[in-house]
Structure 1
Amino acid sequence: MPEQTVSHDELDHTNDEEEPCKELLILYATETGNAQDCADYIARQCRRIGFHGRVLSVDAYSPIDLIEEPLVLFVVSTTGSGVEPRAMTALWNILLRSNLPGDLFEGLPFAVFGLGDTSYEKFCWAAKMLSRRMESLGATEICERGEADEQHPLGIEGTLEPWTAQFLKVLSQLAQQPEGYEVASSATPPPRVVLPAASSTDLKNAKDPMDNDSRYHRAKVSVNKRMTAQDWYQDVRHLEFDFEDDVKHDPGDVAVIHPIAEAEDVQSFLDLMKWSDKADTPLTIRRNVTGK
């Protein structure tokens, strides 16, 4: 999904528009970041119709507060053979308690958008199970569950965009807004991130995660071999890495790979975009999901 970036001044101008009047909690559970990207996208689109989407990872939210929420959207990926992301495990264990009353979430409107891959038998399993469990505890599902498939010709976006459009229609109906209502029909949603110039304090406190986070490890690819036939639509790879340090892991752990771009490739891109004179200007990347 293409993203916008604006200066701090442009952001302030954007905020002169009418503020959202409805609250929406968006909880995401992700392993690789796709569910978070979807949650951010939906939150930005919701601002079009006056809804303020508060986006949080499930493991950063207190489950007990769900009872007090006016409206909740879950964006949940499925890992492996129908397993929920680790960020969701604590919430899921609480929801599965047998002593919870059947009317625990009575009157709570909710929706679920799942991410999965139809090449696995239990497609979007975590989202399906969450949807059923919330309903069994009295919550009301206000929109047909979204199920994004990695195998879709357009990828996740092939489901995300039409589902979000349908979800916005449902929200408008809940808010009793006229058909086609938008806070500012001529305005695009606020950008996902803003890039203000880095202050001296920002530069002083900046840390390289490769040097300051024990979860990061440097490695070189020693083996990169295709496992599937050349005429098969899936390109499954066997990768082996040579690490500079001793890496410990448990079965089921997920590795997120951050490739290092070659210097000449970076310079070629900067020249193409005509950014060479700005490439060394320090910037601060700040999330701007709510546009505030």
Structure 2
Amino acid sequence: MLDLIESLLIEYAPTIIVVVLIVGTYLYMNRPPPPPPINRKIKTPAAPKPPKVQKSSSEKVLKIFFGTQTRTAEDFSRVIEKEAKKIGIPCEVVDLETYDPNDLSSEYFAMFLVATHGEGDPTDNAKEFYLWLTSEDRPSTLLANPAVPFTVFGLGNKTYEHYNAVARVFDRRLEELGGKRVFERGEGDDDATLEEDFLHWKKNMWVTVCEYLGYELKSSEDDKFTPRFRMITLTEENYDVNNSYIRVNPPKIKPKLSNNGSVIYDIKNPYLATVVENKELHSSESDRSCKHIEFDIGENLSYLVGDHLGIYPVNESALVEQLLLRLGVDGDTKFAMVPHDKAGSVIEASVGPMTVRKALSEVLDITNPPRKSILRTLAEYTQVEEEKKRLIRLASEEAADEYNEFIKHDFRTIGELLQNFPGINPPISHFLEFMPRLPARYYSISSSLNATPGRVTITSVVVNFNTPTGRFHNGVCSTWLANLKVGDKVPMFVRESHFRLPSHYTSAVASDKPAPPMIMVGPGTGFAPFRGFLQEIQHRLSTKQISEQFDNILYFGCRGSNIDYLYKEEMVVYQQSSSLKTLTVAFSRETAEKTYVQHKMASDKEKIWSLISNGGYFYVCGDARSMAKSVNQTLIQIIKEYGSKDDNAAQQLIEDMQKSGRYLQDVWF
């Protein structure tokens, strides 16, 4: 037997060796990965305990979700991303619009930076997630097994009544669904100290989050700007649509399609509308300007009265040329910014392909005062020690008053800042990346699509003023719009609003019941949405969709009947057609004592109370800082006097009207 085994081993030895080698190689190549390195922890006793259930290393990614209308929340998210990577925390910045909320329960850590706009509304890109989050169908244990850790920072404006409402809803609902709040919600005020609020929250947030996740906190004071993109300079030779390197209009974002296959235009994919009318609404006696601008939108955009029109403007050419000269670059240089980790296809370019001049004109925000993060970055590009110290000082937390005085109060642009610090010399590729993007501007639509098919109208006051530095500042969008000619193209999209007519006026089914009363308060361009309302009512009256059984009143304000009485002739027509029952105008410059809309309201106290107590709707449109607050206080006094209520009861009545959709505001600051 032994002889037989020995002979078999000798005969098949080569085969056995080969098999052993193959099996050994297979086992080696498919060995399990080594365990992840253990991070050191800093000692902070107050920090909560980490989740008990461990997830695989591939899932341990901190997600930084943003909801933004002007890109500020996205910019803040990038700051968080940069610091997280320095600490060593794997992270990813996520646009809420692109995220499947059903994946939320499996997240390692969720950080939300969300803005609030309008009457406590989520931003366009956060709307679907917001609706999912607030749905009553969500089980209370959705985020509880294990508890998903989270923290929230909100971007809001205290001028508005619903300050940071979206962030507060996110914070509350995430906890209600079983999530674990690791760090308290932060709130920033865009009317005053938004960036300071964010920096303060972020500084304290990292202490707790690092302890919770088991990472060593590292200082970010010496952080340097780290480009995420590289600039590809293009020549006439390779600037060709047929070249795989270049596409003139790269499909960065796939357009949304409706059920019938038509393109849906939105903030990321605006429609290029044609100007069909641009006329002055003020008389020659006015020292100001207000434009009625009408666009041809065909069947490409749809809107309801009360909605907003988002418009992407173009920066003033003189400012662009001054900046090109200061930066020492050729505005005709063709380029594209592509990710460092990509081969170079501009299909995924963050900016371009375009010329540098076009980027400064249409992509970068070069007129708003630069944030502290920009000053901190600019300090890296000067060899002048005094300039570096001054910039770092202005960007510091302790120099808030100096920053507010020198930058915000004086309303300095990036161009002025570069003139004040001649030693700053950033590479154009870095400048194109770290500068904020030019956001869309929003206008209350002043037309009815049913009354004017294929058309949309805005009423735009031209903004300009002298800054404390002596520079004459032109409002970016209003100045650009004012100079447009018939035939010019404008990129635009519609943003839905809650500023709606009562359903009686818009229902497809005619009703014999009396329409609810309406009180509309809109001085100056605050009349814009009410023009749309009245056009819609007039259209429905003429087509017999509604009867004349309604009572509405408009309080309009301007300086003088022969100066800035917007749409004066139209208002007469609305009254004659019974679209508008009562028109009350406050002229602030025609008497020794200035008269405003709230004063006219005070003269009609009994009438207003009668309309309100009979189910009336109350609308306010215009300036949020002064007018809207004064109107609100006047209404409270009317309710107290004629409703026999104290301050608390009067305020409660207004809050009840707001909740039921009978007190609506479309205000700005």
Report TM bin, short chain: 0.7 to 0.9
Given candidates 75, 93, 97, the residue that maps to 1:59 is: 97
- Structure 2 CA distance for aligned equivalents of residues 96 and 87 of structure 1: 16
Which residue of the partner structure matches residue 312 of structure 2?
257
Q: Per the alignment, do residues 271 and 93 of structure 1 end up closer, same or farther by CA in structure 2, a change over 3 Å counting?
A: closer
Maintained 8 Å contact 1:202/1:284: no
Instruction: Call closer, same or farther: CA 1:78–1:221 in 2, change over 3 Å.
Output: farther
Rounded Cα–Cα distance in structure 2 between residues aligned with 1:255 and 1:99: 33
More moved, 106-115 vs 252-261: 252-261
2:323 partner letter: F
Correspondence for 1:125? 165
Aligned residue number for residue 108 of structure 1: 148
1:181 pairs with one of 218, 224, 227? 218
Query: Retained in 1: the 8 A contact 2:280–2:292?
Result: yes
Normalized against structure 1, the TM-score is what?
0.72
Residue 196 (structure 1) aligned with residue 251 (structure 2): no
Alpha-carbon distance, 1:160 to partner: 1.5
Find the partner of 1:40 among 69, 78, 90: 78
Q: Identity across aligned pairs (percent)? A: 22
Unaligned runs of 5+ in 2: 1-38, 40-56, 252-264, 283-288, 342-669
Give CA-to-partner distance per residue, 1:110-169, whole Å, 9 cap, x none. 1111111100111000110111001000001111111111111x4x21212222222222
Structure 1 Cα separation of the partners of residues 99 and 281 of structure 2: 39
Q: Secondary structure of 2:320's partner?
A: helix
User: Do the aligned partners of residues 208 and 34 (structure 1) sit closer, same or farther apart at CA in structure 2, a change above 3 Å counting?
Assistant: same
CA distance in 2, matches of 1:218, 1:95: 39
Cα 1:241/1:168, change in 2 over 3 Å: farther
SS at match of 1:51: coil
Deviation (angstroms), 1:70: 0.1
Amino acid at match of 2:187: E
1:1-292 aligned within 5 A: 23-106=61-144, 107-152=147-192, 154=193, 156-178=194-216, 180-181=217-218, 188=224, 190-191=226-227, 193-198=229-234, 201=243, 204-207=246-249, 215-217=271-273, 240-243=292-295, 248-250=302-304, 251-262=306-317, 264-276=318-330, 279-286=331-338
- Aligned amino acid, residue 188 of structure 1: K
Q: How far apart in 2 are the matches of 1:95 and 1:59?
A: 13
CA distance in 2, matches of 1:144, 1:92: 20
Greater relative contact order, per chain length (Cα 8 Å cut-off, separation 6+): 1
Equivalent position amino acid for 2:106 in 1: E
Give, in whole Å, the separation in 2 of the partners of 1:249 and 1:39: 32
* DSSP-derived class of the 1:205 partner: coil
TM-superposed deviation, 1:240? 4.4
Q: Which amino acid aligns with 2:185?
A: R
Contact 2:89 2:215 in 1 (8 A): no
Cα separation, 2, equivalents of 1:53 and 1:126? 24
Q: Tell me the number of residue pairs that the alignment of Structure 1 and Structure 2 aligns.
A: 250
Distance in 2 of aligned mates of 1:161 and 1:238 = 39
Structure 1 Cα separation of the partners of residues 161 and 108 of structure 2: 34
Structure 2 distance, partners of 1:224, 1:74, is 44
Aligned AA (2:272): Y
Instruction: Name the CA distance, whole Å, in 2 between partners of 1:101 and 1:170.
Output: 28
CA distance in 1, matches of 2:93, 2:135: 26
Distance of 1:99 and 1:166 partners within structure 2: 35
Change (3 A) 1:81 1:187: closer
8 Å CA contact 2:116, 2:164 repeated in 1: yes
Q: Which runs of 5+ in 1 are unaligned?
A: 1-19, 226-236
Structure-2 change in CA distance of 1:287 and 1:151 (3 Å): farther
Cα pair distance change 1:187/1:34, threshold 3 Å:
closer
Q: What SS does the corresponding residue of 1:241 show, helix, strand or coil?
A: strand
Change in CA separation of 1:216 and 1:110 when aligned onto 2, cut-off 3 Å: farther
Counterpart amino acid of residue 78 in structure 2: D
> 1:189 Cα deviation (Å)?
5.0
Letter aligned with residue 320 of structure 2: V
Quick one: which amino acid aligns to residue 205 of structure 1?
A: R
Partners of 1:163 and 1:59 in 2: CA distance: 25
Asked whether the 8 Å contact 2:119–2:162 carries over to 1, the reply is yes
Moved more, 248-257 or 35-44: 248-257
Aligned to 2:359: none
Kept in 2: contact 1:29–1:75 (CA 8 A): yes
**Alpha-carbon distance in structure 1 between the residues aligned to 2:229 and 2:292:** 34
Aligned amino acid, residue 73 of structure 2: A
In the TM superposition, what is the alpha-carbon distance from 1:280 to its structure 2 partner? 2.8
Quote the offset at 1:202 in angstroms.
6.5
Q: How far has the Cα of 1:192 moved from its partner?
A: 5.2
Deviation at 1:254, TM superposition (A): 4.7
Give RMSD over aligned pairs.
3.4
Kindly provide the amino acid, as one letter, of the partner of residue 253 in structure 1: H
Secondary structure of 2:141's partner? coil
Contact 1:31 1:254 in 2 (8 A): no
Contact kept? 1:47, 1:189, Cα under 8 Å: no
Flag the structure with larger Rg.
2
